[in-house]
Structure 1
Amino acid sequence: MERVMRLKSCIGSLLLTLMLCSCNSWLDIDLINQSEESDLFSTERGFSEALAGVYCDIAASNMYGQTLSFGMLDIMSRIYDYSQIPNKMKIFRDYNYEDKDMKAYIYALWCSFYANIASLNNILEWSERNASVLSDERRDQVRGEALALRGMLHFDIYRLFAADIKLDKTSRILPYQTDFGVKTPPVYATGDYLDLVVRDLEDAIKYLENDPIMKITPYELGNGDGENKDQSDLYVARMNYYAAKALLARVYLNMGGEKVKEARRLAEEVIDCGKFALVDYERSLNTEEANKDLLFSDEHIFSLRGQNVKTDAEGVHKQITGSDGNLQMASGYQASLYASDLEDYRLNWYKGFYIIKYTSDNSKRFFPKMPMVRLSEMYLIAAEGWMKDDPDHAAELLQTLKQARTKQLVGKQAVTEEILLLEMRKEFVGEGQLFYVYKRLNHDIIGNTSEDAVKANNGVFVLPIPEEEIEYGHRN
C-alpha cells in the first residue's frame, strides 16, 4: 500500500514539548509553562516567548547543542581519533545508517527539525492573525527572525538528507514546510527546495532592516563582570539582519556556479559592516584562565545559548582515566594540522589529546555558547568566491584571517581549494561544519590520521530519510 509522508506523526508528538520548552531563561525571558495559543499570542511578550522556545529547543543536546556540533557531525567528519571513538558513538564514525539505533537517532533528529519549523510557522501565522497585538516594528522583527530560522533549519535538512545540488539538482526528496498544521507538505526537487530557502532568507533580510543590531556594535559591548552578563547576547544570541545575510552567503556558496558571486558579495557586506571583529589576542586570550574567550565571541554573528553545552561537552571531551566515553585527538594531530605555526591561537582549543573549547573553566564570564556562524566563515566564503576571478583579492582576504590567528607575520599565498580546506579544518573544530564542507566540495574526508581517510560518496554524505517519512515513489 502506498505510504505518504507522515510529518504530522513527529510534529504532533514534539510540538507541545517544543512550545513548553523548559529553560531557566533566555535573554531574561521566562518561558511559559502552559498556555493556550490564543492566550500565548495575545500579547507581544507571548510572541517573544514562542520564539524563545524555538531558540531553546534548537540549542538542546539533540540538535545544535551537541549532535549537530561537536557530537555526531564532528565524529562523521573524523576530527577525532578513529580508534578511540567510544562504542556508543561508533555508529556515527562508521556511517552505519542501517543500524537500528542510528535509524532511531536520525528519525528523532528529523522530527526535531520539522517540529521546530512547525512552531515557527505557527508564530508566522499568528503574527498575521493577531497583527494588531504587535507594533509594526516588532512584527517585522518577529517575522524576520522566524523566517530566517525556518530557512536555516530547512537548509540543514538539505545538507544532511539530500545529495549536493551541484551533483544532483532534480531529486524530488524533501518536504518544505511553510504552513502550520499536520497536513503533508509538498515535496520539492533539490533546486526548487533551495530556492525556497533563499526566498525565506531574502524575506527575512527585508523584515530585519531595522533590527536593533543596526544601532550598536556587538563586539564593542564586551562581557560584563557578573556571571552570564555578555551584553552582546541581546543582539547575536538570536537571528539578526547580518546573520540572515551570512546564512544566505552560506547557501549561495553551496549552490555553486554563478551563485558564488552572490555569496562573496554578501560575505563581504557582513565583513565590511564593522559589527563583528576577528579575535583580539590581548583582549580574549592573553588573560587569566577564567577570562579566556575560547569561543572567539567577538566573531559571533549568530550563536545559540545552550544550558547544557558545557555539561554535554564535558561528557565527551574531558579526560577521565579508564573511561570509554571520551572523544580525543590522535597523537601528533595538532602538530600536524598546525605545523606551519605552533603559536596559532586556535591551539588554545586543545589540552593534550582533548578539546577544551567548551569545557574550559570560564563559565563565570561566558554563557554556554554554540557558534552558528562566525566572521571567520565570511572571510573564507569571500576568499573562495574570489579565488578564480580575483586571485590577489582572495589572497588578501585569507591573509587577513590568518593574521588574526597568530602573532607571527603571515604572508600572502595563492588561494586554492586545498589551502582553504586546511584552514577550515583548523577553524571549525567543535562546530559541526567540517562534514558539510567535505560534502559541498565532494572531497574525501581526511581523517584524524592518514589511515582514517574516507572516500567522498553519497553513501557517507547523505543520511537516509526515515522510513516512516518516505512517500512511495520519492525514494532515491
Structure 2
Amino acid sequence: MKTKLFIVLMILGLVFTSCEDWLKVNSETELSQDDMFSSDEGFHTALTGVYIGMTATDLYGMHLSWHMLDYLAHYYCLISGSNDTYLHSHQYKHTRVYPYIKGTWNGLYNLIANCNNILAKLEEHKSELNPINYQLVKGEALTLRAFFHFDLMRMFGFGNLRNRDVSSKKAIPYVTTFSKEVTPQLSYSETFELLKKDLLEAIDLLYGENGKNCYRITGDDDFFDNGPNGEDHAFFTYFDYQTSPRVDYYVAKAILARVYMWEGTDEGYAKAAEIAEEWFLTEDDSGQDCWDWVSRSRVTNSNVLYRDRTFSQEHIWHLSVTKLNDIIGNWLDASNPNATYERIFLTQEMAFSIFEVGEGNDVGVNDYRYSYLLQPQGSGLNNYATLKLDQCNGETNYGQKIPLISTPEMYYICAEVYAQQGNLKKAISYLNTVRRARGITADLDENLTYQEVREEILKEYRKEFVSLGQLFYFYKRWGVESVAGYADIMDDTKYVLPYPDEEVISGNRVQF
C-alpha cells in the first residue's frame, strides 16, 4: 500500500473534543510515538483512535452502514437528480460516486496501518506492559485488522465463492506491517488463510487462560478494576455484557463465522455454524444466558425517546458514534423528499414486499421491524422512513449506536448451514425463533423444501438489515442475480467495486 500512514487519533483529536483529555499533542500535526506508546494508557489511546476513525462518514458512520451499501442493495427509493441515483445504477466511475469508493478504500487501509503500528509497538514495549493489557490490546488490534481487510474483500473482491473457484486469483492486499512499501497481492486462498490466522490468534489472546481474560465473562481482575491511580480503569468501563463498543472474544468469533461463510466450503460452513451455536449455549457466571432478545416493552414504549430501535440487547458488537445525530441530519425525514436530495426511504411497495404486508398477506403486520422501525410519511403516506437509526434530535436514550454484528445473524448462519446439510427442520426452527422474537405470530411450515427455506432466509436478511449495510454482502455472497428494486442483472460488474485508479497505476494491482 502507498496510502499515507498516520496515527489516526492525531487528526481526530482535533475534531472530537471528547478526546482532548486523552491526548497531549506536540503540535497541530505531530504526536510523538515515544509519548504515545510509553505506557499501557498510550496503547489504549491509540486503539481509541482506531474506533473513532471507524465513525467517519466514508466508513461505518455512514457509507458502510446506512448509506452507500444499502443503496447498492437497492433498498431505497430514487430521487431524481440525487447523487445516489448513480450509486443505484452502479456507475462506480462517475464523479459523484468515485469519491465514496476512494474514501472507503483509503479510510480502511489507514485504519489497518494504525492497527499494524500498534502491533509493532506492542512487541517493542512488551516487557514494559502489563501482561493482560498486552494480550487484550494485541487481540483487539488483530481482530480489527482482520475485520477491515474482510470488508475490503467483501466490497472489492469476488462473491459467490461457494459456486465458483477464484482461489488462485489475486485478492485485495493484506497488509501486516507498518511500512510505506507496496504490499504484494496474494491469492484468495492465501488471503483467507491470513484472515483466519489473525482471528484465531486474536480469539486465543482475548479468551486467555481458562477464560480468565475474557472480560465479557469475568472482568473482575484487578487490572480491569483499577486504573493508574487506583480508580476504575476507564479503558475497560464498557466491557460489560452487551454494552461494549469494542471488540472482544465473541466479536472475533462472530467475524470468523462470517469469514467461513464467505469462503463457502463445506468445512467452513460447518465451522461457522459451530461458532454461531456457541451464542445460544453461552452462560455468564450466574448461569444466565449471555445473549437475549430485545424485549417487546423496549421496542414498543409509548415514549419514542425510550424505544430501543437498534435492539441493543442483541448487539454482539456496535459502533459508538457520538456525532451520529449530526451525521444523519435530515436524511431520515421522508415527509418532503423533493425539498432536498439527501433523503433515504422505502417506497410503500418496497416496504410491503419486504415485510409481507398487504393483499391478504399479513405476515408482517405484527413484525416490530415493520410496525416500529418504519413510518409512513409524505403526501399519501407512501414514503416509508427508516427509523432504526433515528436519533430523535439527539435525545433518545438508545442513540449513538450502529450495530455491526447482532444475534439474529448467528441464527441465519445456522439456518443456512443446516439447510445446506439437509436438516431442514432444524433450519426452520432457527428461523422461527427469530420471527417470534420479532413479533411474528405465524411459524413457518416445518415441511418447507430446501429452496423454500433459502427463500425464507433471504426474506429475513431483507427484513433485519435495513440501514445496516449487510444486505448487499448477502446478495453478493449468494450471487443473487435478480434483486428487488433493480431491473438489471446483478453480476461482477455490479458486485465488485473497482480499486481506486491510483492504486491500480502506482501499485500495479490486478483485480479481475
User: Do Structure 1 and Structure 2 share a fold, with TM-score over 0.5?
Assistant: yes
- The number of residues matched between the two structures is 451
> Aligned AA for 1:349?
L
**Map of 1:62 onto structure 2:** 58
Determine if the alignment matches structure 1 residue 388 to structure 2 residue 420.
yes
Deviations 1:48-82 (A, max 9, x none): 0000000000122110111001110000100011x
Secondary structure of 2:402 counterpart: strand
Determine if the alignment matches structure 1 residue 291 to structure 2 residue 324.
no
2:462 to 410, 425, 441: 425
**Map of 1:458 onto structure 2:** 492
**Map of 2:189 onto structure 1:** 191
**Map of 1:336 onto structure 2:** 353
Secondary structure of 1:105 counterpart: helix
**Map of 2:438 onto structure 1:** 405
1:214 to 209, 212, 217: 217
Q: Is the 8 A contact 2:171 2:191 kept in 1?
A: no
Distance 1:179 1:100 in 2: 33
Cα gap change, 1:235/1:96 in structure 2, threshold over 3 Å: closer, same or farther? same
2:389 to 358, 366, 383: 358
Deviations 1:206-262 (A, max 9, x none): 010022101279xxxxxxxxxxx9885885210011011011101101111221000
Aligned CA RMSD, in angstroms, stands at: 2.3
**Map of 1:106 onto structure 2:** 101
Distance 1:453 1:417 in 2: 22
Cα gap change, 1:208/1:457 in structure 2, threshold over 3 Å: closer, same or farther? same
Cα gap change, 1:105/1:409 in structure 2, threshold over 3 Å: closer, same or farther? closer
Deviations 1:409-457 (A, max 9, x none): 5345436221100010000010000000000000035234xxx344220
1:267 to 272, 276, 280: 276
Alpha-carbon deviation of 1:395? 1.4
> Aligned AA for 1:462?
V
Identical counterparts, % of pairs: 29
Q: Is the 8 A contact 2:135 2:206 kept in 1?
A: yes
Consecutive unaligned residues in structure 2, runs of 5 or more: 208-212, 221-236, 283-288, 357-362, 377-383
Under a length normalisation based on structure 2, what TM-score does the superposition of the two structures give?
0.83
> Aligned AA for 2:364?
D
Secondary structure of 2:134 counterpart: helix
Q: Is the 8 A contact 1:293 1:366 kept in 2?
A: yes
Distance 2:476 2:152 in 1: 14
**Map of 1:349 onto structure 2:** 373
Secondary structure of 2:65 counterpart: coil
> Aligned AA for 2:373?
W
Alpha-carbon deviation of 1:147? 0.3
Q: Is the 8 A contact 1:175 1:187 kept in 2?
A: yes
Consecutive unaligned residues in structure 1, runs of 5 or more: 1-6, 218-228
Cα gap change, 1:231/1:465 in structure 2, threshold over 3 Å: closer, same or farther? closer
Cα gap change, 1:235/1:360 in structure 2, threshold over 3 Å: closer, same or farther? closer
Q: Is the 8 A contact 2:309 2:388 kept in 1?
A: yes
- Superposition misfits of 4+ residues, deviation over 6 angstroms: none
Matches within 5 A, 1:216-231: none
Secondary structure of 1:242 counterpart: helix
Under a length normalisation based on structure 1, what TM-score does the superposition of the two structures give?
0.89
The structure number with the bigger radius of gyration is 2
Distance 2:114 2:120 in 1: 10
Larger relative contact order, structure 1 or 2 (CA cutoff 8 Å, min sep 6): 1
Cα gap change, 1:156/1:365 in structure 2, threshold over 3 Å: closer, same or farther? same
Deviations 1:249-306 (A, max 9, x none): 0110111122100010001112322322122112443342111000000110011111
